[in-house]
Amino acid sequence: MPKTDIARRVYNHTWKLDPIVRSLLDTDFYKLLMLQMIWKLYPEIDATFSLINRTKTVRLAEEIDEQELRDQLDHARTLRFTKKEMIWLAGNTFYGRKQIFSPEFLAWLANFRLPEYELARRDGQFELAFRGRWVETTMWEIPALAIINELRSRAAMKGLGPFTLDVLYARAKARMWSKVEQLRQFPKLRISDFGTRRRHSFLWQRWCVEALKEGIGASFTGSSNVLLAMDNDLEAVGTNAHELPMVAAALARNDRELAAAPYKVLTDWNQLYGGNLLIVLPDAFGTAAFLRDAPAWVADWTGFRPDSAPPIGGGEKIIAWWKKMGQDPREKLLIFSDGLDVDTIIRTYRHFEGRVRMSFGWGTNLTNDFAGCAPTEISGLHPISIVCKVSEANGRPAVKLSDNPLKATGDPAEVERYLKFFGTQDFVEQTVRV
């Protein structure tokens, strides 16, 4: 595949619309796995997803042109899965399993299109929401975030000449390659690309994926981006996300069902998947609360993805819990994925080496590390913390707490209710950068 000259591509194109999302496969693999579960078990549930900009100092509606945003969202709604993509999903082996997606689900997916959206401006921010059946709105999360982030990057680079852009991308490439050189010193390290949601651009994410494939070889285990995995003959990686327990908790009719919600979704997940897909995401309402009340069978699962606790502290707590439950941590897997940079990856790897199996999902610091690369300072090239979360399920408010209180989302009164119900043990407040 010939390499794209990204700087020239940014500067020279004259199309009326340069689409950011060109395929429905340009999404994270866990969205398709969760989608099949939602389609099978929860087809009648309504769920609203809402854009949340945690970096309040960045006024997105003043950086991004509203009409450009509408044009990109409208274009995404025209997309359908292609025959080539459907054949690949049906025939490929994922996590060692053939036909992980049922023929009935794929037949439904072949006709899928993204539903309508609602867009408004308020106080310098965009209010972007997707309302409707959960089985449809869930698929907006990743393309919406990719569109917002790339439009912001494009806005920041408007007016830069071709040589300035050359310097910008040359410095970003050199920075990326220096990270590769650091990581290749640890041949047993396992890293995958988790950078779709807050990437600088699709072309840049593709460059980073290809660089990792060449640079660290077998240590690069795949990409969460399904399109890039298909195009680069890589493993598509990912399991499940916070929206599952968030919806289950929102639908709970009493305290007993609320307490059971995090484990009910694991039971549902186990109906469809097994083996290396049995990964627990424990922090939706706090890891300590999850471990405190977890049924014994949770300890038999393959591993955990501690997503919002400090990686070493969070990993130690899970290892201690495994030991308490009579499990050998050396046979278990920890997947670290929250705001990782090279130093954090290496420090965490060295800390746990030989004590547990490890994998690292490398996100924003992989695919959107441009700060300081331009010849002049451009604030719009600094990544921001932006998410698209479930805000309602069947008209009831949805909440995420996490182990970092600054990452909590939801109606403030409901957040307070959840905090009282689940507790705040081991919560650690950390600045949210990405």
Q: Using one digit for the tens of pLDDT, what is the confidence trace for 304-314?
A: 999 999 999 99
What does the DSSP assignment read for 351-406?
Answer: HHTTTSEEEEEE-HHHH---TT-SSS--GGGS---EEEEEEEETTEE--B--SSGG
Residue whose token pair is 């309402």 = 285
Amino acid at 17: L
pLDDT on residue 6: 82
Residue 371 carries which DSSP code? T
pLDDT on residue 14: 60
Q: Kindly give the parts of the chain with pLDDT less than 70.
A: 1-2, 11-15
User: Using CA atoms, how far apart are residues 291 and 372, in angstroms rounded to an integer?
Assistant: 41
Radius of gyration from C-alpha coordinates of the chain: 21
Helix (H, G, I), strand (E, B) or coil at 342: helix
Q: Confirm if 190 and 358 have CB atoms less than 8 A apart.
A: yes
Q: Alpha helix (H) ranges present in 186-310? A: 202-216, 226-231, 243-250, 255-272, 287-293
Q: For the chain, what's the residue count? A: 434
What does the DSSP assignment read for 303-349?
Answer: EE---SS-HHHHHHHHHHHHHHTT--GGGSEEEE-SS--HHHHHHHH
Q: Confirm if 125 and 69 have CB atoms less than 8 A apart.
A: no
pLDDT on residue 4: 73
Amino acid at 112: F
User: Using CA atoms, how far apart are residues 38 and 36, in angstroms rounded to an integer?
Assistant: 6
pLDDT on residue 432: 84
Q: Which domains does the chain carry?
A: 6-422 (3.20.140.10)
Residue 3 carries which DSSP code? P
For residue 205, list its beta bridge partners. Answer: none
Helix (H) or strand (E) holding 122: strand 118-122
pLDDT on residue 12: 67
Please write the tens of the pLDDT for every residue from 69-103: 999 999 999 999 999 999 999 999 999 998 999 99
What does the DSSP assignment read for 47-58?
Answer: EEEEEEES-TTS
pLDDT on residue 11: 66
Cα atoms in the 13 Å half-sphere on the side-chain side of 209: 29
Residue whose token pair is 């707590």 = 317
CB under 8 A, 24+ apart: contacts of 104-112: 105/36, 105/39, 105/40, 108/39, 109/35, 109/81, 110/80, 110/81, 110/86, 111/80, 112/24, 112/80, 112/81, 112/136, 112/139
Take residue 29 and report the two structure tokens written for it: 């693999």
The residues near 79 (Cβ < 8 Å, ≥ 6 apart) are 21, 22, 23, 24, 113, 114
pLDDT on residue 377: 84
Percentages (nearest 5) of helix, strand, coil residues in the chain: 50, 15, 40
pLDDT on residue 128: 98
Take residue 56 and report the two structure tokens written for it: 């309040």
User: Using CA atoms, how far apart are residues 433 and 311, in angstroms rounded to an integer?
Assistant: 16
Label residue 218 exposed, middle or buried (CB < 10 Å: 0-12, 13-18, 19+): exposed
The residues near 363 (Cβ < 8 Å, ≥ 6 apart) are 194, 195, 197, 198, 337, 339, 340, 434
pLDDT on residue 379: 87
Take residue 144 and report the two structure tokens written for it: 């919406």
Take residue 117 and report the two structure tokens written for it: 């959206």
Q: Confirm if 408 and 399 have CB atoms less than 8 A apart.
A: yes
